[in-house]
Amino acid sequence: MEHRDASAHVLKISEINTSIYVSTRLHCSKRCRRFEIRNAQSEYYLTDVIGILSAEGKRTGMEIPQADEILGINTRQEIAYSDRAMRRRNAMPSWLRA
């Protein structure tokens, strides 16, 4: 959901969606057919799949114990920081080791 589409309640939420999705094509495509356009941009939001899966009682998320495993990389400084962090933990994010 983009800022201009968010209610006051939604704007108070401090959690983030890092946009890392893991699914089979069939599992996800069945739910994508249920997407609706309900925003100012007239766009489909892939994030709507979270609400659909949640309504079905499916697991939709996980806690990432180390925040530096989900950093965005847009500058040389950020890639250097990420490189150092990955080398410190042997290049394998904790959520993939489980």
Residue 10 clears pLDDT 70, i.e. is over it? yes
* Per-residue pLDDT reduced to its tens digit, 66-89: 777 777 788 999 999 988 888 887
* Residue of 62, 19, 24, 40 whose CA lies nearest to 32: 24
Distances (CA, A) of 23 to 30, 48, 60, 62, 84: 11, 14, 11, 14, 29
**Hey, where are the domains in the chain?**
1-62, 63-93
Alpha-carbon span 1 to 39, nearest angstrom? 8
pTM over 0.75: no
Alpha-carbon span 90 to 92, nearest angstrom? 6
Q: Output the pLDDT for position 93.
A: 64
Q: Output the pLDDT for position 77.
A: 94
* Per-residue pLDDT reduced to its tens digit, 31-80: 877 888 887 888 888 778 888 888 889 888 777 777 777 777 889 999 99
Tokens 């965005």 sit on residue? 72
